[in-house]
Structure 1
Amino acid sequence: MPPARRHALTVRLPEGAADTPISAALTAAADLWWPEDSRPRLWTDSVRAAADSSAALRRRATETRRPLAPGHRLRALFLRYEDGGAADLLLVADGAALDARSLWLIAEVLRGRLDPQGVLLRSGTPDLRPDPSTLPLVAALAVVTGRHEGLSYVPVGIPVPALDRPPHALGALDGRAVFAADLTEERTVGDLLGTPLTPFPDGAAPDVGLVDPGPAAGQEAFTVLPYTDPPYPRTLLHGPRALTDGPGPLTDETGGFERQVLRVRDQILSLPPETPLAELYPLTAEESAARIGLGRGTPATAHTPRRIDDVFTERTAAQPDAPALTCAGATLTYRELNARADELANGLRASGVAPGDLVGICLPRSTDLVATMLAVLKADAVYVPLDPEHPAGRRARTAEDAGLRLTVDDTARLTGHPAQPRTASGPPTAPAYVIHTSGSTGRPKGVVVPHANVTALVDATREDFGLTSADTWTLFHSAAFDFSVWEIWGALLTGGRLVVVDHWTTRSPDGFHALVLREGVTVLSQTPSAFTQFMAADRDADGELPLRLVVLGGEPLDTRPLRSWFDRHPEDRCRLVNMFGITETTVHVTARTLTRRAAVEGSRSVGRPLPGWDVHVLDSRGRPVPPGAPGEIYVGGAGVADGYLHRPALTAERFVPAPWHDGRLYRSGDLGRFLPDGSLEHLGRIDDQVKVRGFRIEPGEIRHALLEDPAVTAAAVTVTGHEQGDAAAVRIDAYVVLTPDAHGDTAPVRHRAARLLPSHMLPATVTALPRLPLTANGKLDPAGLPAPRRSAPEAAAPLLAPAPPTGAAATLTEVWQEVLGVPAIGPDDNFWDLGGNSLYAIRIGAAVRERGLPPVPLRQLYLTPTIRTLSEALVP
């Protein structure tokens, strides 16, 4: 049985207060208010402890919870303390008879601040209309709460005349209603003030509420017992003196939240009703300037803008015989790599490449891949990497978008040409490379990055990361993925050795781990998805890793699994750094060194800006958000790219002038907030872009690829699985409406998309629908989409049930079902069509090995992607 509903109030009386006048006031007031009922009396007691001692605190707590005598609605207690100082007046009320407001009024009468003749029982029929001065305040509370919490809908509890008031309530009634604020951008101040109040729900109370505690609020200690008002986890006390923080702090600055509410309230009172809600701003100019300063990185230390090829030439002169580049067991020195790049640069000039031309590079992972990049820069041209693993259609679209002068897919054509005099190179601000990212229009968009950005990145990290010529790096990532920019030039511009990792080794955690050991790699760069597999391989491997620095980036990091890594590789032996970055801001923007404590806490902080970089968290009007509030991440400083190739409108939209200094900011489309220590917490995407195994994609590009199929009349794309925190579980599903002559067969649609989209963008399923579900506004209704179905058409039921798998086939079937989460898998079902990806393939290989079968290399799974063919290959 729940405890009786009660209200309790503790009032600290001034030094020298006596119980006699209080007792007389209580008797007089009770005769006036409750002439026919049992009269409450004032009890007096002494506490053998100081007023602020723990013993006194326990006594007061005990008294506030003591049941009332039968037939009494109020108990009053006067407590003296042995220090002879202040005294306390405790009032406890039966919640069924008196409300919280009544206690305040009784306390005011007993202290002589109010005449009991003016505090009478209220009567009449209440309604749900707040006081006119309250409505702007509660509207402001909703707006500021929405800014702090990143919400567009905020229900706020508000005091109103009670519909169900206690029978003996005094003064104003203590009712509650809900102000359900719709804060979407298109709404106005007038719309917000016109929000109707609704009755308080029977279920959970709103998280935020406004409570009117009565006259002289703000000094007394108001104790709320179970099953009593106010019910809100976070409360503002609305009284004639001040607003006060409630039990749940909403800001990291004492009093800051209340000031912001009052500031927005004043704006609501002064601005025209048609003012958009987005115009309301809770910070002063000084507070806004402080937020801008918080996001500025330390100044770059003695960085002079340089060209990449010039810095490399200096490194070559300083250490010509040091190892520079290793691939497949062969190593080039800096002198040899420089000579090979000069030879290829001569071939480029002989082929007609002029300064500023865009040159495609479509080469497998090799020493010539890196040498050709360097050669393009030496020819004063711009390199555009094309991944040979991508479908030919995708590469053709990228080449068309870039307007390439030529594409290098075989360096033999560039060799044997006579040396040509090298003309003066362009400035450090000239473009060095263009890397393409997914585009919502259906075609990849190229990001133009200058030389100076890359050399600034290296200079910004060199001292902190201790990058020297003693380091060995790996080129693990695709040259078309901007993480490779950091790997290649981070190594070569600091005099280190770069080890090129071949395609299949990057997809074999055990093989890659062995390479790191064999080559003595000291600096490793990984996406969190890939590092998870590397950690798994490390747990089962022998040998002490030579790593001293691991850089994680490219996608959000869940720090919790890192605890096992720290068990084997303590922080003082191998430093882990989480970096947030964007292609448009030159790979990396912030850095945070990870610790075991961060792993235990599950921290999502990505650290502070690199020297020379700026990070700001702004609202929809480009203004700094309040402390701790979410907003869009803007990046400024040394890493901001030139813009998008041949996309002036998109460049103007995303690369905007900085309103407070010369320069530009890049609107990232990422959501973030600043933590109290000034570090940035990354909260995900605002727009439709998502990260799939480290690659940034736009579902719009996938949808456009599907719509180019003549058999598709409408298409929708969903990306799910992010909430599981498992990169392998992230899956892309497509829904299409087909023409009648397609007969519902979606397999050709997926096969055609595979010729245009790289594997990380290919939908796991394509489901045919008679029509796409739409909202009342004619937009796609994702909630109305059914569960995805296999892309292949349903096969006719066999006349005889197939025999159950045995031996290796049975083991593989069990493993596939477990890893892929598919309940029924046939012997000829294709692993990739079942939603398989490279991360799942690695897990399958580990699970198969644990069950006693031979290892399953990723290459084998590509060659034999069904249970039948794979089991035959494993066990001939």
Structure 2
Amino acid sequence: MTHAALPTSQDDPGVSRLFGAVDHWSSRTPTAPAFAAPDGSLDFHGLALRTRSIVTALARAGVGKETVVAVTTGRSRLAASSLLAVWWLGATAVPIDDRNPAERIAYLLEDARAEVLLAHGVPPFAASSQLPVIDPETAAKPVSGNPVLAERDSCAYVIYTSGTSGKPKGVEISYAGLGVFLDALCTIGLTPGGMGLNPLSPAFDGWLWCTFLHLLHGQGTAIADMHADDGEAVDLAARITAIGPRTVSLTPSLIAPCIDALTSVEVVVIAGERCPKALADRLSERHRVLNVYGPTETTIAATWSDTARGDDVSTIGTPLPGYSVRVLDDNGKPVPANTIGELYIGGDGVALGYRNLPDLTAERFVRIGGERFYRTGDLVVAREDGQLEFAGRCDEQVKVRGFRIELAEIEQVAAELPAVTAAAAFVLESGETVGLAVTVADGHDLTKGNALIREHCRARLPEHMVPSVVDFVPALPLTTNGKVDRAELARAAAAARQFTGRAPGTPRETEVCAVWSELLDHSITDVDADFFELGGHSLLAARIVAALRQSTGLKLSIPVLLANPTPALLAEELDRRATAEVAS
């Protein structure tokens, strides 16, 4: 049995489906797990009570319709309750990842015009913002009565994505848009009970998908934190095995290494990246698979394919209920079937626009035949059977590990350094990390330039936007059209890292090189090659540490790898630990 969609009136923006689902499952299965996080868990009864308690605390602080509430509780057991409480009052939520650099968080709070901060304790960045802080742990009598009926066109939440101006841009989603999305989720039909997995950043709108898909169907949500505070390796496959979820939603690059750990999983949702047909076919042999596509500007999702309908899930499928799509050429005319065109998305799920950016809003949100559409910038092919095949981008926006990145934002941050005269970001050939090519002014010492630029970026950008490779070039290569040749930069970066240095000279060095070669997906034969210059990143670091712990039986953590970033140094450290273990 599944939880049917709750009826709503024309005036109801649809978010009431969430409150109806909480009430339904807290009555039907009150002690079933609803939300589990590193700091504890809530059953459905507890979720309902905590939501109403946080409503009271927010209302006492003056939160009401359209009050802008910044929310940083996304990795706690009260994450879902916090968002539900904001929406209960008809306010606007601004989810923020408290692990982002303080400078970035300060910008988000200012740009969003946040009025209240919903956070555990007093976060380090709260002092500079001078916002009143509401702790969701604060004891308050649960509110009685019904949620406020928000206006359909008022803003339910703002999600910040990478921006071409060098600053993140806020996407404003209406209550009507959120309602359309929830309507669509209700049609999927998951089996109630058990847990679903959520390994995503709380500032990423995919977090909302992972959480509310489960909640609407009576499944709990288990937060799988991908960044352990103690520095230990985060083994996603092991976490999946330990949780035993019935539903998982992951990017293809994350799910591929974990495919053998999905023994408990009934439904696999792939999203965020193009899915290779071989992976889609393999997953489809054992699971129901949905391939979901949608920009943040269309309320998380807009199209999907589903093996339960007999779809080819290597495609991004057809529009969700309540959405419409058009595939148009450069002149805004429909293209024939099996022809590439730009994807436009319409329906109530289309965002209100970009916060404080009216010109960009007018450029990307357009009217066609009286209907409002979002120009995605994504190129697709509409097949004769109606399925859409993703074919790339028509601008310089990229996807890395499921995250949308405007390369210009990285370039703007690098250009803040006085020594940098020009910068161009690009995606490495692995597709899992970004690189940066820079030209510098005469007279500057480049000895520590790579580390300096990376640390400067790390202080201002989320981890997935920090370049793993920095190349110094005399001039940026250009295409025949006069644009930066990013493909050539990627090729040059790959060629420069075909190391022919010192070969492995000990069994341990050979072992480390073998593990790195497998997980970095190219042969590592130079024991003095740097992990990051080879294209490494935090998720790969976690996989390498987990693999070496399994093969050696020795204790190892991510900070140890980062402190010993070459096969030679890491092999030496492993030998030292093995000797110490024998001596003890």
Structure 1 partner of 2:265: 547
CA apart distance, 1:709: 1.4
* Cα distance change of structure 1 residues 482 and 855 upon mapping to structure 2, 3 Å threshold: farther
> What do the CA deviations read for 1:440-464 (whole angstroms, capped 9, x no partner)?
111111111123323322322423x
Counterpart selection for 2:440 from 723, 738, 741? 738
Alpha-carbon displacement from aligned partner over 1:547-586 (angstroms, at most 9, x marks no partner): 221111111111213444455x2xxxx3111112111111
Residue type of the alignment partner of 1:816 = W
Distance 2:386 2:487 in 1: 38
Flag the structure with more relative contact order, 1 or 2, with Cα contacts below 8 A and sequence separation at least 6.
2
C-alpha deviation, 1:707, in angstroms: 0.8
Find 2:258's aligned residue among 510, 521, 534. 534
How many residue pairs match? The answer is 542
Deviation string 1:519-550 (CA, Å, 9 cap, x unpaired) is: xx222211111111221445xxxxxx332211
Distance in structure 1 (CA, Å) of the matches to 2:292 and 2:268:
10
Counterparts of residues 462-481 of structure 1 (less than 5 Å): 462-463=186-187, 465-467=188-190, 469-470=192-193, 472-481=195-204
Distance 1:417 1:778, change over 3 A: same
In structure 1, C-alpha distance between the alignment counterparts of 2:249 and 2:239, rounded to whole Å: 12
Aligned to 2:130: none
Structure 1 segments, 4+ long, off by >6 Å, are 300-303, 418-423, 595-599, 789-792, 801-804
Shift of the 303–576 alpha-carbon distance from structure 1 to 2, 3 Å rule, reads farther
Change (3 A) 1:341 1:420: closer
Aligned partner of 1:610 in structure 2 is 320
> Structure 2 CA distance, aligned partners of 1:872 and 1:858?
13
Distance 1:675 1:683 in 2: 12
Corresponding residue for 1:557? 275
Separation in structure 1 between the aligned mates of residue 503 and residue 315 of structure 2, nearest angstrom: 53
Which residue number corresponds to residue 787 of structure 1? 492
Equivalent in 147, 150, 161 of residue 437 of structure 1: 161
Match of 2:242? 515
Aligned partner (choices 382, 389, 396) of residue 681 of structure 1: 389
2:55 aligns with 345
Deviation at 1:359, TM superposition (A): 2.0
| Aligned residue in 1 for 2:362 | 652
Q: Tell me the CA shift for residue 839 of structure 1.
A: 4.5
Is 2:279 the counterpart of 1:579?
Answer: no
State the distance in 2 between where 1:379 and 1:472 align. 28
| Residue 401 (str. 1) matches residue 111 (str. 2) | yes
Write the distance in 2 (CA, Å) between the matches of 1:499 and 1:687: 36
CA contact (8 A) 1:563 1:596 kept: no
Q: How does 1:275-314 map to 2 (within 5 A)?
A: 304=9, 306-307=12-13, 310-314=16-20
Tell whether the 8 Å contact from 2:38 to 2:75 is kept in structure 1 after alignment: no
d(CA) in 2 for partners of 1:310, 1:658:
31
SS in 2 for 1:389: coil
Q: CA deviation at 1:809?
A: 4.1
Aligned equivalent of 1:491, options 214, 218, 223? 214
Distance change >3 Å, CA 326–CA 692, structure 1 → 2: same
Q: TM-score, normalised by structure 1?
A: 0.56
Query: Is 1:590 aligned to residue 309 of structure 2?
Result: no
Unaligned runs of 5+ in 1: 1-299, 539-544, 722-727, 793-800
Equivalent pair of 1:461/1:610 in contact (CA under 8 Å): no
Distance change (3 Å), C-alpha of 1:511 and 1:855:
farther
* Structure 1: distance between partners of 2:366 and 2:9: 24
Indicate the residue corresponding to 1:452 in structure 2.
Answer: 176
Residue equivalent to 1:119: none
Matched AA of 2:242: L
425 and 783 in structure 1: CA distance in 2 versus 1, 3 angstrom threshold: closer
- What value does the CA root-mean-square deviation take over the aligned residues? 3.5
Shift of 1:810: 4.2
- Report the secondary structure of 1:338's partner residue: helix
Q: Which residue identity lines up with residue 208 of structure 2 in the other structure?
A: V
| Residue equivalent to 1:665 | 373
Counterparts of 1:310 and 1:597, CA distance in 2 = 32
Query: Does the 8 Å contact 1:845/1:855 carry over to 2?
Result: no
SS at match of 1:503: coil
Q: Deviations over 1:166-203 (max 9, x none)?
A: xxxxxxxxxxxxxxxxxxxxxxxxxxxxxxxxxxxxxx
CA distance in 1, matches of 2:341, 2:502: 56
Q: What TM-score comes out, normalization by structure 2 length?
A: 0.82
In structure 1, give the amino acid aligned to 2:19.
T
Local SS of the residue matching 1:672: strand
Closer/same/farther in 2, CA of residues 870 and 509 from structure 1, 3 Å limit:
farther
Equivalent residue letter for 2:45: R
Distance in 2, Cα, partners of 1:694 & 1:845: 22
Note the C-alpha offset of 1:651.
Answer: 0.9
Q: Is the 8 A contact 1:315 1:493 kept in 2?
A: yes
CA spacing shift, 1:322–1:815, aligned 2, 3 Å: closer
**Aligned amino acid, residue 832 of structure 1:** F
Partners of 2:73 and 2:530 in 1: how far apart? 29
Q: SS in structure 2 opposite 1:317?
A: helix
Structure 2: runs of 5+ lacking an equivalent = 123-133
Cα deviation for residue 438 of structure 1 reads 0.8
Secondary structure at the aligned position of 2:511 is classed as: helix
CA shift, 1:391, in A, is 2.6
Q: Specify the SS of the correspondent of 1:446.
A: strand
- Counterparts of 2:368 and 2:354 in 1: how far apart (Å)? 18
Check 1:406–1:330 CA distance in 2 against 1; reply closer, same or farther (3 A cut): closer
Q: C-alpha displacement at 1:758, in angstroms?
A: 1.6
How far 1:399 sits from its partner (Å)?
2.4
Asked whether 1:357 is paired with 2:80, we answer no
Partners of 1:775 and 1:326 lie apart in 2 by: 51
Q: 1:863 to 1:396 in 2, by over 3 A?
A: farther
Q: Deviations over 1:464-511 (max 9, x none)?
A: x21354353222211111111111222223333222223348941332
CA positional deviation for 1:637? 1.3
Whether the aligned pair in 1 keeps the contact of 2:70 and 2:116 (CA below 8 Å) is yes
In structure 2, what is the Cα distance between the partners aligned to 1:560 and 1:791? 31
Q: Any conservation in 1 of the 2:469–2:532 contact (CA below 8 Å)?
A: no
Deviation of the 1:815 alpha carbon: 3.1
The structure with more radius of gyration: 1
Once the two structures are TM-superposed, the CA of residue 676 in structure 1 deviates from its matched residue by 1.1
Equivalent in the alignment of 1:754: 458
- Decide whether the 8 Å contact of 1:605 with 1:679 is kept in 2: yes
What is the CA-CA distance between 1:693 and the residue it aligns to?
A: 0.6
Deviations 1:71-92 (A, max 9, x none): xxxxxxxxxxxxxxxxxxxxxx
Alpha-carbon deviation of 1:636?
0.7
Question: Which amino acid letter does the alignment assign opposite residue 434 of structure 2?
Answer: I
Of 476, 497, 501, which residue of structure 2 is paired with 1:772? 476
3-state DSSP class of the match of 1:788? helix
Q: Cα gap change, 1:382/1:609 in structure 2, threshold over 3 Å: closer, same or farther?
A: same
Structure 2 partner of 1:835: 535
Counterpart check, 1:715 vs 2:423: yes
